[in-house]
Amino acid sequence: MRTLWVETTTHRYPIQIGSGLLQRLPSLLEEVGWTPERRLFVVTDTQVAPLYLKEAVTTLQQAGYTVGSVVFPAGESSKTLQTLEQMTGEALRQGLDRKSGILALGGGVVGDAAGFLAATFMRGIPFVQLPTTLLAHDSSVGGKVGVNHPLGKNMIGAFHQPDLVVFDVDTLKTLPSREIASGFAEVIKEALIWDETFVRWLEENRAGLMALDAARLVEAIAGGCRMKAEVVSQDEKESGLRAILNYGHTIGHALEAVAGYGQFTHGEAVAIGMVGEALLGERLGLTTNVSQRTQALIQSYGLPYQLPTTAEVDELLVAMRRDKKAAQGALTFVLPRGIGSVEIVKEVPEAAVRQVLTQLKGEGLSW
Ligand SMILES: NC(=O)c1ccc[n+]([C@@H]2O[C@H](COP(=O)([O-])OP(=O)(O)OC[C@H]3O[C@@H](n4cnc5c(N)ncnc54)[C@H](O)[C@@H]3O)[C@@H](O)[C@H]2O)c1
Ligand SMILES: O=C(O)C(=O)C[C@@H](O)[C@H](O)[C@H](O)COP(=O)(O)O
Ligand SMILES: [Zn+2]
């Protein structure tokens, strides 16, 4: 088992990564001060429930916990205020109170929505992240929780740190290959913004990683989590540095909203966004030679790197002006200075963004 720590000025919690960890949940909870007096509420989705809910609940019940649960339909389109309201109703019906705790068992959609339930239920109760997708190595760390609005990704949310993150890598064995690729997009992002050596390692170990070689996979997850934990520990609420974790997301989030939630996975949208934002960095003269290597890496992990030809540039621009990083609608991006290094650039000229979006459109893709 690998243990990493998030240490902000107000919160300190472990990230446990390894095999067989769902069976060890009671002792991992005990290490962060949770005991069976705390009533538990497991939040998961319809895809994950038949795979892991019973195992998690039984293990906890055997340790003396009272455990309730709620299951919502799998997919990005469930990350809504309506789901939050339904989960809140179920939590109330099942008798949760301020001393209860929430367990988010699933991918990033479950983690974000269940975390937001924890942030808002009776004005906030503790929660634990139990990620089951590769992508959720990113979403389970750092305390950004929330739901989408039809006009923009994660527009309704909060910062609410978990007490613990437990990543049982055995759960990845059932993850569809499209979701594995999607998860690598965020690992690639973390490498591209922070560490060229990690980029090289991802290039050199692609075959083993794509074949889900256990040791390499733990290495990739731990590498991504370490970078995320370092950034979050320095800037918990995104007053500056943390925005670099948004590399590829100005375009990516706009694409997810405009195409309709769930059309692209989050990782796919971010992958296309990173290629676009690398091209933008080059166009603005911030860097040279980043887009080719970025595209090659993304392509080698089976991820898309082009916008559909049907993509409406005007609609994407409207969505980008609403991005949370933008002040007064000025187009704001995280752009590369080189491989392993980025900067936040405000007031990017629209003409340059238009040119890049047009360049990014691939032949034969549509939604
Ligand atoms: N809070 C953050 O810091 C942060 C960071 C990155 C992404 N996100 C958010 O995370 C979300 C994307 O997360 P995701 O890619 O994990 O999507 P997801 O949660 O929708 O999971 C993808 C699919 O895989 C299924 N699944 C999950 N675990 C499985 C398993 N072990 N075996 C089989 N199927 C499984 C799910 O049911 C779903 O159908 C987006 O909403 C994104 O905005 C948040
Ligand atoms: O944790 C962060 O900070 C990130 O930006 C990580 C992103 O990968 C993630 O998609 C996050 O949800 C985006 O946050 P948002 O504030 O841009 O909605
Ligand atoms: Zn992301």
CATH of the domain at 295: 1.20.1090.10
Q: Based on the fold, state whether residues 113 and 185 are members of the same structural domain.
A: no
Give how far Cα 255 sits from Cα of 15, 76, 100, 121, 158, Å.
31, 13, 37, 31, 22
Q: Based on the fold, state whether residues 192 and 128 are members of the same structural domain.
A: no
The rounded distance, in Å, linking the Cα atoms of 129 and 167 is 8
User: Based on the structure, what is the number of domains in the chain?
Assistant: 2
**Residue carrying the six token digits 């609609």:** 315
* 176 C-alpha to ligand 1 centroid (Å): 12
The CB of 182 under 6 Å from ligand 1? The reply is yes
Q: Based on the fold, state whether residues 207 and 356 are members of the same structural domain.
A: yes
Task: Return the pLDDT at 367.
Answer: 55
Task: Return the pLDDT at 101.
Answer: 98
The CB of 248 under 6 Å from ligand 1? The reply is no
Last residue of a domain, one of 140, 174, 208: 174
Last residue of a domain, one of 174, 209, 240: 174
Q: Based on the fold, state whether residues 52 and 76 are members of the same structural domain.
A: yes
Last residue of a domain, one of 154, 174, 194: 174
* 264 C-alpha to ligand 3 centroid (Å): 13
* pLDDT in single tens digits along all 367 residues of the chain: 999 999 999 999 999 999 999 999 999 999 999 999 999 999 999 999 999 999 999 999 999 999 999 999 999 999 999 999 999 999 999 999 999 999 999 999 999 999 999 999 999 999 999 999 999 999 999 999 999 999 999 999 999 999 999 999 999 999 999 999 999 999 999 999 999 999 999 999 999 999 999 999 999 999 999 999 999 999 999 999 999 999 999 999 999 999 999 999 999 999 999 999 999 999 999 999 899 999 999 999 999 999 999 999 999 999 999 999 999 999 999 999 999 999 999 999 999 999 999 999 985 555 5
Q: 365 CB contacts (<8 Å, ≥6 apart)?
A: 304, 306, 307, 308, 309, 310
187 marked as part of a ligand binding site? no
Core vs surface per residue 235-256: b (16+ CB within 10 A) or e:
ebebeeebbbbbbbbbbbbbbb
Please, are residues 107 and 139 in contact by the beta-carbon 8 Å criterion? yes
* 62 C-alpha to ligand 3 centroid (Å): 36
Complex confidence, ipTM: 0.99
Q: 190, 234, 242, 245: which to mutate for ligand 2, most atoms within 8 A of CB?
A: 245
pTM for the full predicted model: 0.98
Q: 76 CB contacts (<8 Å, ≥6 apart)?
A: 109, 148, 256, 261, 262, 265, 266
Give domain status of residue 7, yes or no. Answer: yes
Q: Based on the fold, state whether residues 317 and 244 are members of the same structural domain.
A: yes
310 marked as part of a ligand binding site? no
Q: Based on the fold, state whether residues 185 and 307 are members of the same structural domain.
A: yes
Tokens of 6: 């998030």
Task: Return the pLDDT at 366.
Answer: 54
Q: Based on the fold, state whether residues 158 and 252 are members of the same structural domain.
A: no
Structural domain range at position 293: 177-360
Write the residue with the smallest CA distance to atom 2 of ligand 2. 245
Q: Based on the fold, state whether residues 215 and 342 are members of the same structural domain.
A: yes
* 253 C-alpha to ligand 2 centroid (Å): 10
Note the Cα 279 to chain centre separation in Å. 23
Q: 53, 71, 79, 109: which to mutate for ligand 1, most atoms within 8 A of CB?
A: 109
Give domain status of residue 366, yes or no. Answer: no
Q: 6, 44, 47: which to mutate for ligand 1, most atoms within 8 A of CB?
A: 47
The CB of 334 under 6 Å from ligand 2? The reply is no
Give domain status of residue 367, yes or no. Answer: no
Q: Based on the fold, state whether residues 207 and 351 are members of the same structural domain.
A: yes
CATH of the domain at 46: 3.40.50.1970
Give domain status of residue 365, yes or no. Answer: no
The CB of 154 under 6 Å from ligand 2? The reply is yes
The CB of 144 under 6 Å from ligand 1? The reply is yes
The CB of 144 under 6 Å from ligand 2? The reply is yes
* 38 C-alpha to ligand 2 centroid (Å): 30
